Chains A and B, each alone.
Chain A
Amino acid sequence: MKIEPITRVEGHLGVDVKVENGYYTDAKVKITMFRGFEVLLKNKKLNLAPNITGKICGVCGATHTLVSIEALEMANGIYPSSGSIDFRNVAYALADIMYNNVTVAFLFEGIDFSSPFVASLTQSTFERALNTYTLYRDIHGYTKVSDLMDQLYYKGEIYKTALKLSTKFRDLATMIWLRYPQPVSLRVGGIEIRDLEAVDKIKKGLKEVEKDIEKLIYISAELREFYKGVYKDIGANFVTYGLFESHDYNARYEDMDKWAEKRFIPPALIKNGELITRNLRDILLGVRVYTDGTAYEDWKQSVFEDPLGNKVDLHHPWNKETVLKNFTGDYLFTVKQYDGREEFSPSTGDIARLYSLRLKGKVKTFNYDWEYVANDVIERLFARVFMIGMLYDYIMNLEENKKDFSPNTSKGQDLAVGAHDAPRGGNAHWIVQKGGVIQRYQIVTPTDRNFSDPVKMSIIGQKVTEEAEKFEGLDALRVVRSFDPCSACAVHIFTDKSVLEKLL
C-alpha cells in the first residue's frame, strides 16, 4: 500500500508498506523532491556557505547556518568568545530545538494519538483509554487517558497550547537570531548582539509558559505509559554529535575531542547499549556514504588523511563527489557508521541525546527522572517533549557572559567539518576548501541517517494495531513521524531511490 504524500511532516514524503497476517512485512520510504544545494556551493566563496546552507530548511531553520559557521570557524581558524557562545546556545535551544520539538510532537504527531484517530482506527485501544486513569492528573488535569486524547486533536486545548508555545519559542529566539528561520546574526567567530539583555528577557518570557511546558511533559508521559510496548523497539544503537558548546570551544580539529566532549549534551556513539566513544572526531571520521549501483558517478579518492594523519575512507564525506550520471540508475543513498570494527546504522535524535546524558548521571526535568526504556515510536515522542523541559532548565540556569564577544584566532585548514545536533539528530557539513573557495561541500543530515535503516527497521515487523475495515497505515505513519523526518534537508543533493522510481 502506498501512502503518499504524507502530511504533517516537513516536505515531500511517501511510504510504501506491505502487510501480511497482521504485521508490516516490508517498507520503503520515499522522498519525492530534489533541489541541489551541494552543486550550488561548489566553487563558491567559502564565506557564502552559511547563508546558502541556511536556506536548505525552513523548519530546522538555524541548524545548517550554525553547523556551516562552525565548519568555517575550523577552516578559517577563528572562534567565538564566551559571550557569543552563550547567546548562540540560548537561541539555538529555543529555535531550533524547543520550537521544533513542540511543533513535531503535538502539531504533527499528536493528531495520530487524538481521540478521532484512536477511536476510529483502533477501537479496542480507545476502549482501554476510556478505562485508564491517568497517573499525573494533578499536573495536567485530565482524569482518563481518553480525556487527554480528546484535547490532542485540532481544536483541543493541547493542540492550542502547543501552537502557542511553538510561536513563543520562535519569537523569543528571534531576539538573538534577529530572524527565524534563517538567522541573520550569526557570524564566523561570533554573533551580532543587538540586545545585551536578550537572555534575561527570554528567561522572563519562558517563565510565563513554565506551567504549559510541565503539562506537556506529563501529558506525553501518560502516552509513554499507555503505549508502552506497543511499538517495535529497534535497539539501543545511537549517535549524537551533542548540543551547545562550552566556553572551551576553539574550533580546532586537533582539540575537537576535548571541546566537543564538554558540550552540554556530549557526543556519543552507542552500540547495543554500550558507549563506543565520545570522541566527536572519531565519530565523524567513521561516517560512510554509499551510493553503489545508483545514478551517481563513482568518485575517486582525493583525500587520504585528515589534518592529523588519520586515514580517511573512500566513502567518507570528505571524499564524496556527487555527480549525477543519469536519471535511470538507482538513487539509493545510505549512511553507515564505522565504529573501528564494523559498520552499523545507529538512529539519531532526542533519545540518543538523553542516552548520552544518562551515561553521565541523572537526567531529570520538572521532577521527572528519565530512564531509557526502548527505541520506539512512543519513546521518541516522549524524549522529544522531555527535551523541551531539559532545555528550559538549561536556559533558566545559564548565567550568560555579557562581555566577551570578540573573535579569537588560531590556525585555519583546508579540510574542515562542523557537526552539531539538529532537533532530529546529528547534522554535519564537511568542507574541502582552497584559498577561500569551496572545492567540495558535503552535508549529511539526521534524516539521511534515520532513513538509511532505522525507519525501515521500525516498520518491518511492527504489529498492525489498526482494527478498522479501511486500512490507513496508521502505525507506519506514526513510525515515520516519530523520526521527525525533514526531506528538504535530506535531499539537498542526492535522494532516496524513490525519486528514481518516479523518474523511471
Chain B
Amino acid sequence: MDYCEALEKVLKSNIVWVEAQSCSGESINILKSGCKALEDLFFNSSPFKLYSTMCREKCGKEYLDELLSQKDFVLVIEGAIPKGKDQLCYIGDMTCTELISLLAEKAKAIVAVGSCAVNGGIIRELGYIGVSEFLGKKVYEVPGCPASDKMMIATLYYALTGGKS
C-alpha cells in the first residue's frame, strides 16, 4: 500500500486549505494526477471535500461561508503569516490571521505546508512568521520550497490518523 492508497483509506474529513502570504507553490504542487484520493477531491467525486482557492467552484462570500461552516476538517496552511501586519493579507473580508485563528480553533489537525508556513521561509527577513509560531502551538509541518507533493500527502495521512500511524 503506498501513501496515496493510505490517504484514501483514512480520508474521513474535509480538507480546508488556506493560502496566507504564499506563492501557491504547494497548491500547484498538490494539484497533480497520480494519487486517486487527491484526484477524487479535485474531481469533487470524493464524499469529502477540498476547500482550496485553487480549485473551488464558488467565489466570494459563498466560498468563505463554506469554509467557516466546516466542523470536521484538517486545516492546511500555505504561506507565511504577517505577524502584526494583518492588513497585508486578506481572504475576502477577513484578514488571513483572523481566518486562520478561527479555523485553527475548530480543526482536528493543522498542517503547515512549505517553508513559508513552517517558519516564514524566504520572506521571514521581512518580519513574517510560520504557523506554529503564530498559533503558539505545535502543528504538523512539511518544510520545503516548495514542499514535496508526496510529503504533503504523507503528512496529511499522518494528521488524519491523529499522529498514531
Contacts and interface: CB of A to CB of B under 8 A. Distances in A.
A205 interface: no
Interface residues of B, number: 47
B145 interface: yes
Contacts of A55: 23, 25, 121-122, 145
A233 B16 CA distance: 38
A7 B25 contact: no
B141 interface: no
Given A8-B55, A35-B128, A163 B24 contact: no
A488 B63 contact: no
Contacts of B64: 5
Nearest to A114: B57
Contact of B63 (A7, A34, A499): A7
Contacts of A154: 42-45, 57
B49 to A, nearest CB: 11
A39 B126 contact: yes
Nearest to A4: B92
A468 B49 CA distance: 26
Contacts of A14: 60, 92
A159 B89 CA distance: 31
A58 B55 contact: no
A181 interface: yes
Contact of B123 (A4, A8, A35, A164): A35
A166 to B, nearest CB: 7
A160 B32 CA distance: 10
A170 interface: yes
A209 B69 CA distance: 41
Given A35-B126, A58-B27, A155-B43, A5 B33 contact: no
B43 A159 contact: yes
A182 B43 contact: no
B24 A33 contact: no
A34 B33 CA distance: 31
B44 A155 contact: yes
Nearest to B60: A3
Contact of B88 (A33, A39, A155): A33
A36 B87 contact: no
Contact of A11 (B22, B55, B60, B128): B22
Interface string B7-41: 00000000000011111111111011110000100
B90 interface: yes
A10 B31 contact: no
A32 B90 contact: yes
Residue with the highest number of chain B CB atoms closer than 10 Å, among A5, A10, A111 = A5
Given A55-B122, A57-B24, A502 B145 contact: no
Contacts of B70: none
A119 interface: no
A7 B56 contact: yes
A164 B34 CA distance: 8
B125 interface: yes
Contacts of B22: 11, 33, 58, 488
A503 B123 CA distance: 21
A327 interface: yes
A181 B25 contact: yes
B102 interface: no
A7 B126 contact: no
Nearest to B51: A7
A60 to B, nearest CB: 10
B21 A35 contact: yes
A67 B13 CA distance: 42
Interface in A240-255: none
B53 interface: yes
A77 B123 CA distance: 30
Contacts of B31: 103, 107, 163, 166
Given A163-B42, A182-B146, 10 more contacts: A5-B64, A6-B53, A8-B56, A11-B53, A12-B89, A32-B90, A35-B128, A61-B28, A163-B39, A181-B146
22 contacts: A7-B59, A8-B53, A12-B19, A14-B60, A35-B80, A37-B123, A40-B122, A40-B126, A57-B25, A58-B24, A61-B28, A154-B42, A160-B33, A160-B39, A163-B31, A163-B42, A167-B34, A181-B29, A182-B146, A488-B22, A502-B90, A503-B87
3 closest pairs, A vs B, by CB? Answer: A58-B25, A32-B90, A58-B23
Interface of A: 2-12, 14, 32-37, 39-40, 52, 55-59, 61, 103, 107, 111, 154-155, 159-160, 163-164, 166-167, 170, 181-182, 327, 472-473, 477, 488, 499, 502-503
